Structure 1
Amino acid sequence: MTKIRQVQVTFDCADPERVGRFWCEVLGYVAPEPPEGFDSWDAYNASLPAEERNAWFAASDPTGAGPRLYFQRVPEGKVAKNRLHLDVRVGTGLVGEERLAALEAECARLLPLGAVRGRLLPADEENESCLNMQDVEGNEFCLD
């Protein structure tokens, strides 16, 4: 029998903490405790050479059910559509107007956090409605 493995989703980004904290708010995730000997991440980052500050950020599901998210600083900016994106499951089990209301309510919650609304993809014969969005650095995701 194959062993089940943990999955970590890694984001390349310009500002790991900003993107990571956005996703913490979206998903209810939490940042890890600062390293031993530091009372905050700001204090830890201040102890590093300038080029190493804010090089990464991690976020975890406090229940342990979801994958860990890891955000790493890269020098290049985003130039094309993501080949992989997250679907934030806010409408599971809902259909029609009830589903649309759930998608719109979550969109309204995320916009003040810096999300950008994309296109609503209406239900068809095979799929329920979903709403395309972008995070604070333009990475695509869907409210599903």
Structure 2
Amino acid sequence: MTSVKKFQVTFDCAEPERLARFWCEVLGYIVPPPPEGFATWDDYKHSQPPEQRDSSFACTDPSGVGPRLFFQRVPEGRAAKNRVHLDVRVGTGLVGEERLAALEAECARLVPLGAVHVQTLLADDDNESCIPMRDIEGNEFCID
């Protein structure tokens, strides 16, 4: 029998720290402490050669259960639809109007952080409601 592997989710982006801090707010994640020997992330950043500064950043689930999120700067912008996206699970176990209200409340919390509400997909015979959104760099995610 194979064992379950730990994994991280990596985002290519323009501004790694800014996007990491956005996702910390969305998911309740935290920025880990700076590397040993540095009092702050700014101290660490200033120790790096200029071309490496702000090239990556990460955030983690404070409970240790969820995957680490890693953000790496790339020169090109997002060119097409994501092939993979995150589903932020705020409506688990809820149905109908109660589920929709929870999704809409989370959407209302995220929009002031810079998220973009794409549309609200209402429940049908096969699927419950969900809200597709975009993060501050245009990456798609869903509130479901």
Please confirm whether the aligned pair reaches a TM-score higher than 0.5, indicating the same fold. yes
**Any residues of structure 2 matched to 1:1-144 within 5 Å, and which?**
1-144=1-144
Which amino acid is 1:35 matched to?
P
**How far off is 1:103 after superposition?**
0.6
CA deviation vs aligned residue, 1:87-134 (integer Å, no higher than 9, x gap): 000001111111111011101111111101111111111110000100
Matched residues in 2 for 1:127 and 1:42: separation?
46
Matched residues in 2 for 1:104 and 1:3: separation?
38
CA deviation vs aligned residue, 1:19-78 (integer Å, no higher than 9, x gap): 100001100111111011211111111121211011111111111111111101111000
Q: What is the count of residue pairs matched by the alignment?
A: 144
Matched residues in 2 for 1:52 and 1:129: separation?
42
Secondary structure at the aligned position of 1:6 is classed as coil
Matched residues in 1 for 2:43 and 2:99: separation?
43
Matched residues in 1 for 2:64 and 2:49: separation?
33
TM-score (norm 2): 0.97
Which amino acid is 1:120 matched to?
T
Q: Which runs of 5+ in 1 are unaligned?
A: none
Which amino acid is 2:101 matched to?
A
Q: Which runs of 5+ in 2 are unaligned?
A: none
Matched residues in 1 for 2:82 and 2:143: separation?
16
Secondary structure at the aligned position of 1:50 is classed as coil
Matched residues in 2 for 1:8 and 1:36: separation?
21
Which amino acid is 1:29 matched to?
Y
